[in-house]
Amino acid sequence: MPHFNRRDFLKTTSAFAASGLLTPLPNLFASAAAERAFKLCLNPGSIGVSADQQTLLDMAIRHGYEAMIAMPARLAAFSEGERAAFLDKMDAHGISWGSANLPIEFRQDEKQFKDGLAALPKAAQALEQVGATRMNTWILPSDPNLTYHQNFAQHAERLRACATIVGHHGIRLGLEYVGPKTMLTRDRYPFLRTMAEARELIAAIGAPNVGLVLDSFHWFCAEDTADDIRALHPSDIVTCDLNDARADLSREAQIDNTRELPTATGVIDLRTFLQALVDIGYDGPVRAEPFNQPLRDMEPEAALKATHNTMRQAFALVE
C-alpha cells in the first residue's frame, strides 16, 4: 500500500456549512491546575529518519518518546505471535499509539481514489488489531482546476467515504488545514486554510469520527488563536504537530516545507498553543513535523535526540 506525505506530494504534482459549529462551545475542561496529558510522539519521516515499525519502537524506547506513529502496511505483515509480542513490548515501556497516515490519494482522478478506497479496509483492520485508533491526512489550500465549492464538495464526498470505512474499525480521521498564504496562491483556485474553514468541511462530511489535525505552524500562519483551540472539545483533535517558524520570513511569507523545530526561533508562541491544549484536556499524540533540511542531514540517532530535546523544551513551557 503506498505511503503519501505532503512533502513528497508537493515535489511531484501541482494538482493539488455548518456555521453553528464555529460558535465557541463552553469549555468544561479548563482548570488552573490542569497538567499536560498529551504524549510526545515519534514521527520518523518528518525528521528524515527511516524505520520500520519494529525499529521505530526501539527508537522510541531508546530516546524516551511516549508514543509513535502506526504503519498499517507494516502492521498488516505481523503474524499473530509477532503482534502479541510487539504489543507486550509497547506496554512494558509505556509507549502508546500515535496516528497513521491515510494511505489514499484522494486529490486526483476518480479511479486513483477508488483504487485506494478499495485497499483502505485492510489498513484499517491492521490498526484495529493493535488498538491504534487514529489516522490523518492534509488538505491543500489551493487547486489548479477546482473552484472552492467544487473542491469542497469533492473533499466532503471522498473523505466521508474514507471516514465511513475507518469508522467501522474504531478509527478517527484527522484533517490538517495548511495555513501558509504562499500555498493559498500556489494554484489558480484558493481553498481552505484556517481552522474555521476546516471545521466547516468537517461539519459537511457529517461523520462523528472526523476531527482536526492541529499544527502550530499552520495555526500561526492562519492567524488562529488560543481561543479557537479552547472552543474545541479534546475529542475534536485527532493528532497534533508542533513546529516553529523561520525567523527570516514574515508570517505572510512562511513556506510550508521549510520550518524549524519547536522553540528553535521563538517566532511561534508555543507556550500559548500548548497551554490551550492543556486547558481543554487534550490527551493525544503531539509530534514534530519541521520539514527541516539541517535536521534531515543529521545521522538518525542525532536527529532523534535533537527532536526529543526540543520537544521536551517546548513541553516544559506548560509543565
Element (H, E) at 227: helix 226-230
Q: What is the per-residue pLDDT for 34?
A: 80
User: Over the stretch 241-277, which tens digit does the pLDDT of each residue have?
Assistant: 999 999 999 999 999 999 999 999 999 999 999 999 9
Residues of the chain with pLDDT under 50: 1-4, 9-32
For the chain, domain boundaries: 36-318
Which pairs from 104-112 meet CB under 8 Å and 24+ separation? 104/4, 104/137, 104/162, 105/2, 105/4, 106/137, 106/155, 106/158, 106/159, 106/162, 107/15, 107/16, 107/140, 107/143, 108/13, 108/15
pLDDT at 12: 44
- Superfamily, domain 36-318: Divalent-metal-dependent TIM barrel enzymes (3.20.20.150)
Query: Which triple of cell numbers denotes residue 162?
Result: 474514507
- 153-165 pLDDT per residue, tens: 999 999 999 999 9
How much is the CA Rg of the chain, to the nearest whole Å?
A: 19
- pLDDT for res 16: 35
pLDDT at 5: 53
